[in-house]
């Protein structure tokens, strides 16, 4: 598989073009690159102002900024039993950030906040009814 040209070649090519002695096509022949590549990086520099190629950032893209992260940490610190839907509503109402429930779940996971709530009450002493009304072994 072909690899992209390095940023050093891009910088050298564009600095030679900035000197104004040769056209893009002649510089492409001199640098042993295609004229299409030369036009592409020249247009990209005009558009972005950068000589280097853009870096790819893999993975899930952030939908909320650091200020939203600190706000969520504060809310969960103050009220640890908030549900995802309640967090979603508060984000929309107070921070004007619209996130789906799965996005909030991933955000909480990224922040290291737990979703599972611990049960502080003991289980009920009343036995659960069995299917078809049969007596369970725990009722003897």
pLDDT (tens digit per residue) in 44-53: 889 888 888 7
In a domain, 53, yes or no: no
Instruction: Give the lowest-confidence range in 59-63, 75-79, 102-106.
Output: 59-63
In a domain, 77, yes or no: yes
pLDDT bucket at 4, cuts 50 / 70 / 90: confident
Instruction: Answer yes or no: do 107 and 70 share one domain.
Output: yes
Instruction: Answer yes or no: do 35 and 70 share one domain.
Output: no
Measured CA to CA, the distance from residue 71 to residue 77 in angstroms comes to 10
For residues 28 and 34, the answer to whether their CB atoms sit within 8 Å is: yes
Q: Which domain holds residue 21?
A: 7-48
DSSP state of 140: -
In a domain, 119, yes or no: no
Q: Which pLDDT score is estimated for 118?
A: 57
Locate 110 and state its tokens. 């990224």
Measured CA to CA, the distance from residue 46 to residue 40 in angstroms comes to 10
Q: What is the pLDDT of residues 114-123, one digit of tens each?
A: 776 556 666 6
Instruction: Answer yes or no: do 43 and 71 share one domain.
Output: no
Instruction: Answer yes or no: do 70 and 40 share one domain.
Output: no
In a domain, 116, yes or no: no
Closest CA to 84 of 61, 114, 60, 45: 114
Higher pLDDT, 66 or 59: 66
In a domain, 131, yes or no: no
Domain count of the chain? 2
Q: Which pLDDT score is estimated for 90?
A: 92
User: Given a cut of 80, is residue 83 above it in pLDDT?
Assistant: yes
End-to-end CA distance of the chain, in Å? Answer: 73
In a domain, 59, yes or no: no
Q: Which pLDDT score is estimated for 113?
A: 86
In a domain, 28, yes or no: yes
In a domain, 138, yes or no: no
Instruction: Answer yes or no: do 106 and 70 share one domain.
Output: yes
Instruction: Answer yes or no: do 43 and 12 share one domain.
Output: yes
pLDDT bucket at 88, cuts 50 / 70 / 90: very high
């Amino acid at each position: 598989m072909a690899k992209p040209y390095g940023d050093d070649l891009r910088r050298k090519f564009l600095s030679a073009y900035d000197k104004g002695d040769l056209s893009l096509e002649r510089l492409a022949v001199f640098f042993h690159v295609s004229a299409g590549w030369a036009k592409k990086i020249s247009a990209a520099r005009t558009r972005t102002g950068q000589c280097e190629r853009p870096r790819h950032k893999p993975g899930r893209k952030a939908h909320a900024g650091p200020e939203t992260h600190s706000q969520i940490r504060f809310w969960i610190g103050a009220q640890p039993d908030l549900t995802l839907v309640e967090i979603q509503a508060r984000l929309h109402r107070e921070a004007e950030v619209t996130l789906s429930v799965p996005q909030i779940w991933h955000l909480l996971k990224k922040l290291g906040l737990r979703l599972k709530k611990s049960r502080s009450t003991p289980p009920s002493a009343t036995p659960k009814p069995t299917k078809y009304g049969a007596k369970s072994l725990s009722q003897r």
